[in-house]
A and B are shown apart, each in its own frame.
Chain A
Amino acid sequence: MNKYLIVTALFVLAVITGLLIGPAPLDSTILQLRLSRVVLGIFAGGIMAFCGGILQGLFGNPLVEPYTLGSASGAALGAACGILFVGILNPLFAFLGSLGVGFFVYTIARMEGGLLRDRLILAGVVMSFLCSALVMLIMVMGGRELYEVLYLLMGYLGVIIDASNRWYYIVLMVVSLGLVGFLYRYYRELDIISQGIETAAGLGVNIERLSLIIFVVTSLIIGITVSMVGAIGFVGLVVPHISKLLFGAKHLRSLPASFLLGATFLLFADTLARVLTVYELPVGVVTSIVGVPFFIYLYRR
């Protein structure tokens, strides 16, 4: 019972510090600015950790996350293409990239009947490399857009919200959160799948259909998220582990806890980044620098 209180309190603390701390003196317009940044942080951190948790559960592999499955890299590639060829960061490109790479990985892994889990991860990692290479190519070809692509790769919460994109962002967030809720209903299936595909099939879980649904929906969510704030790494890999360490194996608890912890973690990282310098640091840099030692400490304990 205590754990829940602590995690919730941490989350509230992260939100409050995120709203109160910053370079500018606090007034209603600054609060509005920080609020949108905090909302983006909650959204992005929560989504990345949640999707990481779902994918780790589905594929029974602790190394799986939006990055290792190629979805995040695919989304970044799509978004980078959008920047280069259309001139704007188009979420459509991002989720087309995410879905495209996702489907490709899925097809490679699905060959010869049955979904081969090991092959899926291998295919995902390989496609991730390919996407990174193509993004590099785009960065080399681009001129001043280079920075935008760079920040896209590392994650960027300093997005300017104005009349042209406010509703657009709100709608995308609501849709993504709806999809997260939709995925959450598979918590029982994920518990069961952790005990082996045959066990799950024997209990009546339609693994192939479930894999396809989770794959497509997470690709979509990750595509949307990356198009909004870039591919924030590390959160999706590590937060689900921490969540399981704290709240046990059951996905009914570990998935929402992942969402909350991911949001908390990203908010703290972002607040830290904003206070440290007047420069805008890519938030992914901070999550990795702060997160890795924290994770090693937790895991050794």
Chain B
Amino acid sequence: MLRISQITISHLPKSRILIIVTLLFFVVCTNTPEPGMRVVSLSPAMTEIIYALDADVSLVGVTTLCDYPPQARNKPKVGDFSNPSLERIMGMQPTLVIVHLPEQRRIQDQLERFDVNIFVSETRTLADIYAEIRKLGTLLNRSQQAESLVHTMQADLQPISPARRKRVYIELSPRPLITIGAGSFLNELIELAGGQNIFSDLDKDYPIVQQEEVIRRNPEVILVLHPVAVGSRSGWDNVDALKYDRVYADINQDHLMRPGPRLVEGFNTLREIVGE
């Protein structure tokens, strides 16, 4: 029985399957109007950049994390940031998929087997961000806008050189303690804003560090980018930031964590905190 059914399937004319599949695709296609450029962005930052470049008509798919600007929430979803669905992405018939590394290396590998352009966003420095904005501008036929966006950002992110740089500790997670290393654009941003990241000697972008190491490096400013309170930690009493009440928790972490246009707002917040 098994053999017979296998033979039957393999002998079914291939052309017929092709017709069925094409018809199905046709049904899907007729539902979406805009032809030409079809972009799926798996990176919330790149989604923001696309809107900033006024190219959102080409945007056909985003992740559930792409929540800014608010209109972005209305775009079709292809999954969440850490787990986008390959089928949903390909279902959007994209001409360009933007992936963010290192988190999305797996989906990148999978996408490479398809006939689709992949834009790899891997931002470790501010220069990377500018380069990516320009590159995206070229791809989306918005070079002009991209150039002016980069100029505005560069103008806004003017480096500050105080007499003495305050030691800054950014905490991304309390358990384990995750912070910012030299490999992150945030490290650069802190320095631009006039501070000194206490873990700038570690090459990794998001190193996991020991409590004692934080205490030893004695930050003067602590930025808490997670919801857990940093009030009465045992052993932290002598840390300057706690002694002088310079722990900042109510910061919009998207302004700091997303390598996009809103970094300027994060920078301004940082400048206020560090420059005080």
A touches B in complex, CB < 8 A = yes
Contacts of B81 in A (CB 8 A): 143
Secondary structure of the B contact surface, majority rule: loop
Q: Is A30 within 8 A of B235, CB to CB? A: yes
Q: Is B235 within 8 A of A36, CB to CB? A: yes
Q: Give the residues from 157 to 183 in chain A that come closer than 8 angstroms, CB to CB, to chain B.
A: 158-164, 166
The answer for the CA separation of A151 and B175 in the assembled complex, in Å, is: 8
Q: Is B233 within 8 A of A161, CB to CB? A: yes
B208 within 8 A of A: yes
Closest 4 pairs (CB-CB, A-B): A33-B235, A24-B216, A163-B232, A162-B233
Please choose the segment from A61-69, A110-118, A185-193, A272-280 that sits at the chain B interface, where 4 or more of its residues have CB less than 8 A away: A272-280
Q: Mark A266-285, 1 if CB is under 8 A from B, else 0.
A: 00000000100011100000
Q: Give the residues from 208 to 227 in chain B that come closer than 8 angstroms, CB to CB, to chain A.
A: 208-213, 215-216, 227
The answer for the CA separation of A29 and B216 in the assembled complex, in Å, is: 11
Contacts of B232 in A (CB 8 A): 162-164
Residues of B that sit less than 8 Å from A by CB: 80-83, 172-178, 202, 207-213, 215-216, 227, 229-238
Q: Is B175 within 8 A of A159, CB to CB? A: yes
From the candidates B82, B207, B216, name the one contacting A25 in the complex (CB within 8 A): B216
Tell whether A164 pairs with B229 under 8 Å between CB atoms, given A33-B235, A274-B212, A278-B202: yes
The answer for the CA separation of A160 and B176 in the assembled complex, in Å, is: 9
Q: Is A280 within 8 A of B176, CB to CB? A: yes
Closest A residue, CB atoms, query B232: A163
Tell whether A279 pairs with B208 under 8 Å between CB atoms, given A30-B235, A161-B234: yes
From the candidates A148, A151, A162, name the one contacting B234 in the complex (CB within 8 A): A162
Residues of A that sit less than 8 Å from B by CB: 22-25, 27, 29-30, 32-34, 36, 87, 89, 140-144, 146-148, 151, 156, 158-164, 166, 274, 278-280
Q: How far is the CB of A6 from chain B (nearest CB, A)?
A: 30
Q: Is B209 within 8 A of A279, CB to CB? A: yes
Q: How far is the CB of B106 from chain A (nearest CB, A)?
A: 10
How many inter-chain residue pairs (CB < 8 Å) link A and B?
99
Tell whether A278 pairs with B209 under 8 Å between CB atoms, given A33-B234, A162-B232: yes
Closest B residue, CB atoms, query A24: B216
The answer for the CA separation of A163 and B235 in the assembled complex, in Å, is: 11
Q: How far is the CB of B1 from chain A (nearest CB, A)?
A: 33
Q: How far is the CB of B5 from chain A (nearest CB, A)?
A: 32
Q: Is B210 within 8 A of A280, CB to CB? A: yes
The answer for the CA separation of A163 and B236 in the assembled complex, in Å, is: 12
Q: How far is the CB of A158 from chain B (nearest CB, A)?
A: 6
Q: How far is the CB of B85 from chain A (nearest CB, A)?
A: 12
Closest A residue, CB atoms, query B226: A144
The answer for the CA separation of A279 and B207 in the assembled complex, in Å, is: 7
Q: How far is the CB of A181 from chain B (nearest CB, A)?
A: 27
Q: Is B213 within 8 A of A23, CB to CB? A: yes
Q: Is B229 within 8 A of A158, CB to CB? A: no
Q: Is B172 within 8 A of A33, CB to CB? A: no
Contacts of B82 in A (CB 8 A): 140-143, 146
Q: Can you sample 24 A-B contacts with CB below 8 Å?
A: A23-B210, A24-B212, A24-B213, A29-B215, A29-B237, A29-B238, A30-B215, A32-B235, A33-B212, A33-B234, A140-B82, A146-B82, A148-B175, A151-B208, A156-B176, A158-B210, A160-B174, A161-B234, A162-B233, A163-B231, A166-B234, A278-B209, A278-B210, A280-B176
Beyond the given pairs A30-B212, A159-B175, 16 more chain A to chain B contacts, judged by CB atoms under 8 angstroms and listed by A's residue number, are A23-B212, A24-B215, A29-B236, A30-B215, A33-B212, A33-B235, A141-B83, A146-B82, A148-B175, A160-B175, A160-B211, A160-B233, A160-B234, A162-B231, A162-B234, A280-B210
